[in-house]
Amino acid sequence: MGIVGCGTMGAGVAELCALAGLDVRVAVSPRDTSAVAGRQRIVASLDRGVQKGRLAPADRDAALAAIELTTRLDDLSDRQLVIEAIHEDEAAKVELLSTLDRIVADPDAILASNTSSIPIVRLGRCTRRARNVIGLHFFNPVSVLPLVEVVSSVLTSEDVRDRAEHFVATVLGKEPIHSPDRAGFLVNALLIPYLLAAIRMVESGLATPAVIDQGMTSGCSHPMGPLRLADLIGLDVTAAIADALYDEFKEPLYASPPLLQRMVEGGLLGRKRGRGFYVYS
């Protein structure tokens, strides 16, 4: 396994793959703090698993031993499957996948993207192996949520789709669903309009985030209200998915509310920054 990026999603996927017994190599930014922060995320998550009794200390230690961090993309040249998990920016993902296409030696290796909104055909066509490019959209937190969207484009081969589904279901023990190769795929095409509607209610002064969230948790049995969920996803990610949906479909319900745009511009990105619609310790 190769993974590019060790933020919230990259670290979660690395942990999951290591616990499945895979040899995991994670490429991170050459900045001094990036590798350290990525390793800390993985260690902290595995330690929580031990503390809660979900994981034996020996399994934690084995998983940590299976994960190698590197600052060189070239170190992924021998990987059979590489998942990019960098920030949700189409130009950055296109550049990265084009580079991986040149680096990864095995012509049958799968190049996968954890994008939550960008059509896979746009990412595949920047490579010489579009047939091997697929979407594997994990959900946060990766260690807890069972679903993975498997997204094959019109250029992805059927064999690669089958191999990716086998990897998700059999190797990782997750629940794969096949989603259409359109902006937002399946889950976010349903979820994002709901989150944006809640943000518009706050923006218009109809209700506070706490009241809206209480209405959906206590009245509709949702495990988490829409504003806390947006904070968990990341308001920057929520806005990026909304922009991708609006760019493709031009539907008003996909347009980012001004409040969301201002919060992102102000760095109020949710839980990962300590403040979004709520304040976090």
User: With bands split at pLDDT 50, 70 and 90, how would you rate the model's confidence at 36?
Assistant: confident
Distance CA(17)–CA(258), nearest Å, equals 39
The model's pTM: 0.92
Residues of the chain with CATH 3.40.50.720: 2-178
List 15, 84, 88, 149, catalytic entry: 149
Catalytic pick among 143, 153, 188, 256: 188
User: Where exactly does CATH 1.10.1040.10 map onto the chain?
Assistant: 187-273
Active site residue 116: yes
Q: Summarize pLDDT for 70-129 with one digit per residue, the tens.
A: 999 999 999 999 999 999 999 999 999 999 999 999 999 999 999 999 999 999 999 999
> Mean pLDDT in the chain?
95
Q: Per CATH, the architecture of 2-178 is what?
A: 3-Layer(aba) Sandwich (3.40)
Can 114 be counted among the known catalytic residues? no
Average pLDDT in the 53-73 region? 95
| Calculated CA dihedral for residues 41, 45, 46, 49, nearest 10 degrees | 170
Which candidate in 113, 116, 143, 179 is catalytic? 116
- In whole angstroms, give the CA distance from residue 5 to residue 248: 27
* 137 flagged as catalytic: yes
pLDDT at 32: 60
Dihedral (CA of 244, 246, 248, 249) sign = positive
Specify the pLDDT at position 30. 80
Has 149 been annotated as catalytic? Answer: yes
Q: Please identify, in words, the CATH class of the domain defined by 187-273.
A: mainly alpha
Location of structure tokens 């991170």: 28
**pLDDT band at residue 37 using 50, 70 and 90 as cut-offs:** confident
